Amino acid sequence: MTTSQTSDLQSADLVAKANDRLPLILEDIERVITKETPSHDKEAVAAGAADFVELLRERLGATAEVITVDDTAHVRLRFGSGPARVVLLNHQDTVWPHGTLDRIPFSTDDGILRGPGSFDMLTGAIMSIHASAILREHLGEGGLDGLSILVSGDEEIGSISSSDLIRAEAAEAKAVYVMEASAGGALKLERKGTSNYVLVFTGKASHAGLEPEKGINAGMALALHLPLVADLADTEAGTSVVPTVISAGTTSNTVPAEARVDIDVRARTAAELDRVDAAIRELATRPQLEGSSIEVLGGINRPPFEREQSAVLFERATALAAELGLPAPEGVSVGGASDGNFTAGDGIATLDGLGAVGDGAHAEHEHAVIDEIAPRTALLAALIADQLQG
């Protein structure tokens, strides 16, 4: 990149340029929200991926590729021939089932943007495209060399098929920016790691009225195990171990032969995730009901995103916000995980929460504040340029 290009970029009013693009940004957000891409519908996710490829072509004049892993479509657009130096992490799948638009249609009333996925995280994904477009207009065709934009299709269900792609794409990056949304606008400097388990209890069925004594009640086996699982939590260490979905039995007059419980684990450190993992597997070797057995499914999903991986990028975000005339960003630690956990867990500098400002992730009141979209798009553009030029 030439010195004149650098000088031109530093003198540019990125906030004004982002404001000029706001009508187009809102148009693109409406476009992707009205596609409806629930994570488990692979065809819908593939259609959404194809539309993102077209959007990237229209806004950036570049051809993205669709990478399909285990029947799930992901989108990658890499500028230049070398490895990525800056990676923008997005996802276009949502938790909302088909038909949600009938209840929660796209709208922009009273300065609030609504619709399924508006906060988590379709607004952020569109912001990443337009921040890149602003830089491309300034720096020319080669000005984005080293930038990679990823749009995955299974983040809401654990990124099982996309995690290796994300980690490989960011392996040599200087910075990863995660376009997840933020309640109140604070950037996310630390996230807990996650584990997901299903414990399957097997007993023996029998008629609940005629001969219950001949059965082994898997539901009772599960119930006896629950306190032992819950006791694995450590509040002081910030580790939660929560039984969530519970099921047992087939009919009301049959002793249950099988029961299941989902367990959600969150921890600040890899050591805590490892401790809980080992403990759950050890508990499974000690059924509390004679004659029953326990199988453990699942395991550690995302490593912790520790604060040291975000510190330098947060300092740069604070400095660049001041140069743009924007308020200094706040930083928070959160319990929820994101794809940024993978890159931060690999020791790559990662900054999260750069997407929409609003509230209601996975909730009926999901929304984004329109006035925050352009300033944060400008800040993202400055952050990208900061690392590409550095």
pLDDT digits (tens, 9 = 90+) for 290-331: 999 999 999 999 999 999 999 999 999 999 999 999 999 999
Q: Can you give the pLDDT at residue 3?
A: 43
Q: How much is the pTM?
A: 0.90
Res. 243 pLDDT band, cuts 50 70 90 = very high
- pLDDT tops 50 at residue 2: no
Angle 107-55-357 (CA atoms, 0-180°, nearest 5)?
Answer: 45
User: How far is the C-alpha of 141 from the C-alpha of 127, rounded, in Å?
Assistant: 19
13 contact partners, CB below 8 Å, separation of at least 6: none
Q: Can you give the pLDDT at residue 140?
A: 81
- pLDDT tops 60 at residue 4: no
155, 169, 272, 352: which one is catalytic? 155
Please confirm, yes or no, whether 54 is among the known catalytic residues. Answer: no
Res. 8 pLDDT band, cuts 50 70 90 = low
Q: Can you give the pLDDT at residue 6?
A: 45
- Both tokens of 38, joined, read 């629930």
Domains of the chain: 3-191+305-389 (3.40.630.10), 193-302 (3.30.70.360)
Mean pLDDT for the chain?
Answer: 95
Res. 142 pLDDT band, cuts 50 70 90 = confident
Q: Can you give the pLDDT at residue 10?
A: 55
30, 36, 93, 190: which one is catalytic? 93
Query: Strand, coil or helix: what is 242?
Result: strand
pLDDT digits (tens, 9 = 90+) for 14-63: 999 999 999 999 999 999 999 999 999 999 999 999 999 999 999 999 99
Res. 82 pLDDT band, cuts 50 70 90 = confident
Please confirm, yes or no, whether 93 is among the known catalytic residues. Answer: yes
- pLDDT tops 60 at residue 267: yes
> What values do phi and psi take at 25, rounded to 5?
-60, -45
Query: Strand, coil or helix: what is 265?
Result: strand
Q: By percentage, how much of the chain surpasses pLDDT 70? A: 97
Res. 339 pLDDT band, cuts 50 70 90 = very high
- pLDDT tops 60 at residue 1: no
